[in-house]
Structure 1
Amino acid sequence: MGETLARFENVTRGFGKGPPALDGVSGEIGGGEITGLVGPDGAGKTTLIRLMTGLMLPDSGHVEVLGIDTARSPQRIQNLIGYMPQRFGLYEDLSVQENLDLYADLRGLPRDERPSAFDELLTFTDLKRFTGRLAGKLSGGMKQKLGLACALLKKPRLLLLDEPGVGVDPISRRELWKMVEDLTKEGIGVVWSTAYLDEAEACDRVLLLNGGKLLFSGPPSELTGRVAGRVYKLLDVDGRRQVLTRVLQRPGTVDGVIQGEAIRLVLASNMPPAVDEIAGAGARLNPAEPRFEDAFVDLLGGGPDGRSKLAEATTALPAADGHPVIEARGLTKRFGDFTAADNISFSIPRGQIFGLLGPNGAGKSTTFKMLCGLLRPTSGDGRVAGFDLRRDTAEARNRLGYMAQKFSLYGDLSVAQNLDFFAGVYGLGGQRRRERISLMTEIFDFGSHLKMSAKDLPLGLKQRLALACAALHEPEALFLDEPTSGVDPITRREFWTHINGLVEKGITVLVTTHFMEEAEYCDRISLIYRGRSIALGSPDELKARVARTDNPDPTMEDAFVTLVRNSDLENAA
């Protein structure tokens, strides 16, 4: 570790009557490196960052930044650091340049220094071509780059980034990461807060928080090494979702996730059980390289047990009859002279998960909204459960459940009021309405939160409430638009336990996601880029398309990035 830029000793900070957000946390931040501040939703990451900015003070303990006590000179610290909060305050009605001008004023950047600073930052972030574009019209990745530029207007010695990768596609995340790595070469210390554990793995050091406690401090490889010899891939499995559910309920299984056609397992010991006991004849159990995420889940005591009370309470649909449940036929959407989606076609049979992947602004959300009946196509047709979305909109919508990207609940309504409202939207009444609301309250353990406003819920509970509202009426199809963006791995596993269980009951799922390991749960994927589908196939098929001698076992993220770049090369030729 380089020069110590921040130090906190035995820091405790609480809010109200509940347990403290931080409880006796100690650690250091070094210069010239990226320190990952890692942990689930509610772990205390944002609280620790805000303590380092001097925007709040600890209840007890000591925080020192750049040799300055935060309790004595917070304003001096704020003049020397860069800070990009989780919801960065860009003004969406101002252009890129106007946002830079405003933040230069707020940071007190002398006018004679502005032209060179703007030129350097616009070059660094590759935003020179977009200085006249309104911030509200930028993609998610471009907004994060502009936020980073604003935080760097006065070059800081310490840069604090609170979950900069949330909602950003893999290509933009890689670009953002490369930019931050370049800053560390100048000696700048960077704190990168994240719930994405692939980001944590790339940090020089990590501080791992959970429930306000510091569980680990050190290089990521040190924690990953703790599960060496206990990670396996279960291959040639018949019925991977059912097998995963069984395996997760076995003693000795710490964690399990679907990885294409395989199942990735973390076991309690390095003595694996006989394969035929857990997956039947013909299956193979091969050792796999451990990941930081494997060690993280192991440290937290393991993932959920694979049982979904939601799926158990859901009526099974009839077996597939060969007709698609969701179908897109040449779907096209134009906004003026801009084509957001161009001739998108695919069909999804009963009981499958289909993923729409693509960079920010590629057209996947537009396609998604047309199939929900929320956006009328310029041309082409969409069908849900046999109903045409143009002619039979109401009937089609009653067959689907929708979980929106920007959290579709009503923040000023309580948990109970949201459940009641969505029950009415989906046409539930009388005894059936009361039974379903009561069931969702029990399944998702909402009892002690029923009177809370939805906007005040922790992110994991918001996500559970959104899923409960979407599944209230037992739909034939679930539409999930980036459903787990920003949530921690344990909550994400819980979510997919429910989805896997529902799919086994015959429900069909259409999902968009920026989390590439989540895409592995899909049966098939359409990769959307610049409004068109550039690849269609299973996760394993897409990965096989980009496998090379130097990378024989590519990740889903490798496939995403390579296929998009290959499309650019083909279009440029």
Structure 2
Amino acid sequence: MPPETDAAPLVLEQLTRRFKIGKRVVVALDAVSATTAPGLVIGLIGPDGAGKTTLMRLVAGLLRADSGTIRVFGTDVAADPLKVQGMIAYMPQRFGLYEDLSVQENLDLYADLQGVAPEARAARYGALLHMTGLTAFTTRLAGKLSGGMKQKLGLACTLIQPPRLLLLDEPTVGVDPVSRRELWAIVDHLVRGQGMSVLLSTAYLDEAERCDEVLLLHEGKLIGAGKPSQFTQAMAGRSFQVRAANMSKRALQGALSRLPGVTDAIIQGEAVRMVLDAGINPGIVRESGLVDAVITQVPPRFEDRFIDLLKAKAAAMAIEPAPSANPPAAARAPAAQPGTEIEVSHLLKRFGDFCAVDDISFTVARGEIFGLLGANGAGKSTTFRMLCGLLPATSGSLQVGSFNLRTAAATARGRLGYMAQKFSLYGDLSVLQNLRFFSAAYGLSGAKRNARIDWALREFELAPMRDATSRDLPLGFKQRMALACALMHEPDVLFLDEPTSGVDPLARREFWQRINALADSGVTVLVTTHFMDEAEYCDRLVIMGQGKVLAEGTSESLKSACRDATHPDPSMEDAFVALIEADTARSAAQVRAA
């Protein structure tokens, strides 16, 4: 019998799933119950390891539950998985595009796999290509697309056969803000225009506010469900912006985050956004000694409530707070002295006829956190690899300290630490074995090597995981280990290539506490990121587009430059999107003129 037309898209009843990893039993989902309404975007929100992907795979029939039931439009997934799979489409985090095939060939392949009749394909292809903006790229190899375009092609392939319920597992991780907005426009079109129901997991909490309803997961348990506005309203009167004269934003954030009664404190432009525990008066800031602090109440955000719930959960479980972000004395570099640490002049990189980096110049001061931002394909990763000495420049000069990277790249690399965008350590080795390997690779031996390994295990709270196989670690612990390995030789310059992609907000806050402390101790930090709120942590930024520098300055100056009647109080994302869209429009005009 076909499912009822008014049945809920998704009903979960006491859903439980466990995994055995080595000798440990991990409860990925613990008696989760929820019901969703049709024609809505339901956001699945939770920290790393909360159980989001497990839930997606259970709904798609790719895993079986240990107990509990899942019904999709009234059909039990366990009893009739094939029937359910005919009603849904699932786009996992790493969608399987074939990079040696063109856009059109990928569409044809997935049409074959989904049994789409040949006579129905042309119309369907046309609609999907128009919706995703890929009409002009049908002959391009998938491997030659930017990250955002790959995500849109993956979504088009997923939608070859229109589903009633679409499952999207973190579809916007690793793509730039312009591509994120384009993907959300597609999702809105599917839901508002075609009546599709969508279950979407995301690591971006601003995206949670775009959802009609959200399900909050933490350590396999459902800790909240409802409209985003309901969560935001619960934080009314608890969010503030704090400024202090003659005090750096990093120092102010550190001081506020240590105050009893402060739920959260994050850098926002030249100020700090502070969230207080319920019932706490903002006067505690001045009482702490910050008598000149200027405190302004600001509207709450969904992220404020999310952090509040997670911190409350941790307190209820008597979890110890993260260790001090300040590196121990043995690991601390001398305080930053004035001067230029990195100088890039007229840098150019060509791959055949393609110019990936086109005559860019900038400098980075010693002890500065410097952000290198750009749309997917803008040339920032190529620039990053040249700065790390991993890729030779076609022309121009690259100076790190007293070293010219074009003539002394190997020597300069001894002063650099590098944390790659994707987890790049050895998955078959344990945490301890990775630390031993990288310390030896950086030339450490004897007592020095042992001391640095002990420091890494202690400072990054890796000791309980020292014998765990690296690939089995939660993403947050993988990130800690990658940073520890990059710091084993106490580098003067640290390169971070999208270091928090896919990491939950609490792990991101802990990570940036460590980076702030490193910068305060004299380490120069270069970072690329697609999280625009993280750009606020940078002392200065460069935004790239099509291989060129589009703008340079502080986050405040870049936001001010795009302030207008439409955006009287622009966000960093607004500033980024405005710059990229203006550059795209200029390029299009030049093509038309030619």
Same fold (TM over 0.5): yes
Instruction: Indicate if the aligned counterparts of 2:336 and 2:520 stay in contact, CA closer than 8 A.
Output: no
Instruction: Indicate if the aligned counterparts of 1:383 and 1:396 stay in contact, CA closer than 8 A.
Output: no
Cα distance in 2, alignment partners of residues 119 and 313 from structure 1: 62
Cα distance in 2, alignment partners of residues 248 and 32 from structure 1: 41
Deviations 1:377-400, CA, capped at 9 Å, x for gaps:
001111222211112212211111
User: Is the counterpart of residue 147 in structure 1 residue 154 in structure 2?
Assistant: yes
- Which stretch shows the higher mean deviation, 450-459 or 313-322? 313-322
Aligned residue number for residue 258 of structure 1: 267
Letter in 2 for 1:265: M
Aligned residue number for residue 317 of structure 2: none
Task: Compute the displacement of 1:45 (Å).
Answer: 0.6
1:89-128 map, 5 Å = 89-128=96-135
Give secondary structure in 2 for the equivalent of 1:418.
helix
Aligned residue number for residue 79 of structure 1: 86
- Which stretch shows the higher mean deviation, 275-284 or 349-358? 275-284
Deviations 1:437-458, CA, capped at 9 Å, x for gaps:
1110112222232233322211
Aligned residue number for residue 202 of structure 2: 194
Letter in 2 for 1:216: G
Gaps of 5+ in 2: 1-5, 315-319
Letter in 1 for 2:167: L
Instruction: Indicate if the aligned counterparts of 1:409 and 1:466 stay in contact, CA closer than 8 A.
Output: yes
Aligned residue number for residue 16 of structure 2: 12
From 36, 41, 44, the equivalent of 2:48 is 41
Cα distance in 1, alignment partners of residues 215 and 284 from structure 2: 37
Task: Compute the displacement of 1:321 (Å).
Answer: 4.2
- Which stretch shows the higher mean deviation, 501-510 or 411-420? 411-420
User: Is the counterpart of residue 478 in structure 1 residue 478 in structure 2?
Assistant: no
Aligned residue number for residue 292 of structure 1: 302
Identity of aligned residues (%): 55
Give secondary structure in 2 for the equivalent of 1:41.
coil
Cα distance in 1, alignment partners of residues 572 and 282 from structure 2: 27
Cα distance in 2, alignment partners of residues 309 and 202 from structure 1: 33
Aligned residue number for residue 33 of structure 2: 26
Aligned residue number for residue 215 of structure 1: 223
Letter in 1 for 2:310: L
From 42, 67, 70, the equivalent of 1:63 is 70
- Which stretch shows the higher mean deviation, 350-359 or 420-429? 420-429
From 517, 522, 526, the equivalent of 1:506 is 522
Cα distance in 2, alignment partners of residues 128 and 404 from structure 1: 33
Task: Compute the displacement of 1:281 (Å).
Answer: 4.5
Give secondary structure in 1 for the equivalent of 2:481.
helix
Give secondary structure in 2 for the equivalent of 1:377.
coil
Instruction: Indicate if the aligned counterparts of 2:540 and 2:554 stay in contact, CA closer than 8 A.
Output: yes
- Which stretch shows the higher mean deviation, 164-173 or 95-104? 95-104
Q: Superposition RMSD on alpha carbons, in Å?
A: 1.7
Instruction: Indicate if the aligned counterparts of 1:226 and 1:295 stay in contact, CA closer than 8 A.
Output: yes
Task: Compute the displacement of 1:315 (Å).
Answer: 4.3
Cα distance in 2, alignment partners of residues 483 and 434 from structure 1: 26
Task: Compute the displacement of 1:313 (Å).
Answer: 4.2
User: Is the counterpart of residue 170 in structure 1 residue 201 in structure 2?
Assistant: no
Aligned residue number for residue 449 of structure 1: 465
From 238, 245, 253, the equivalent of 2:254 is 245
Distance change >3 Å, CA 90–CA 279, structure 1 → 2: farther
Aligned residue number for residue 380 of structure 2: 364
Letter in 2 for 1:130: F
Cα distance in 1, alignment partners of residues 161 and 336 from structure 2: 61
Task: Compute the displacement of 1:275 (Å).
Answer: 4.2
Distance change >3 Å, CA 448–CA 51, structure 1 → 2: same
Aligned residue number for residue 548 of structure 2: 532
From 270, 273, 282, the equivalent of 2:283 is 273
Instruction: Indicate if the aligned counterparts of 1:21 and 1:44 stay in contact, CA closer than 8 A.
Output: yes
User: Is the counterpart of residue 489 in structure 1 residue 505 in structure 2?
Assistant: yes
From 402, 409, 415, the equivalent of 1:399 is 415
1:360-439 map, 5 Å = 360-439=376-455
User: Is the counterpart of residue 550 in structure 1 residue 566 in structure 2?
Assistant: yes
User: Is the counterpart of residue 226 in structure 1 residue 234 in structure 2?
Assistant: yes
Give secondary structure in 1 for the equivalent of 2:413.
helix
Letter in 1 for 2:282: P
Deviations 1:209-267, CA, capped at 9 Å, x for gaps:
00000011100010111111000001244122122112111110111111111001100
Letter in 1 for 2:306: F
Cα distance in 2, alignment partners of residues 375 and 279 from structure 1: 49
Letter in 2 for 1:198: D
Give secondary structure in 1 for the equivalent of 2:47.
coil
Cα distance in 1, alignment partners of residues 548 and 238 from structure 2: 42
Cα distance in 2, alignment partners of residues 305 and 477 from structure 1: 28
How many residues are matched?
Answer: 572
Cα distance in 2, alignment partners of residues 48 and 154 from structure 1: 22
Give secondary structure in 1 for the equivalent of 2:311.
coil
Deviations 1:516-547, CA, capped at 9 Å, x for gaps:
00110000000000000000000011001111
Task: Compute the displacement of 1:159 (Å).
Answer: 0.2
Give secondary structure in 2 for the equivalent of 1:20.
strand
Letter in 1 for 2:305: A
Task: Compute the displacement of 1:308 (Å).
Answer: 3.4
Cα distance in 1, alignment partners of residues 501 and 289 from structure 2: 31
Task: Compute the displacement of 1:130 (Å).
Answer: 1.3
Instruction: Indicate if the aligned counterparts of 2:244 and 2:252 stay in contact, CA closer than 8 A.
Output: no
Distance change >3 Å, CA 105–CA 5, structure 1 → 2: same
Cα distance in 2, alignment partners of residues 330 and 56 from structure 1: 53
Give secondary structure in 2 for the equivalent of 1:15.
strand
Cα distance in 1, alignment partners of residues 159 and 188 from structure 2: 14
Distance change >3 Å, CA 500–CA 373, structure 1 → 2: same
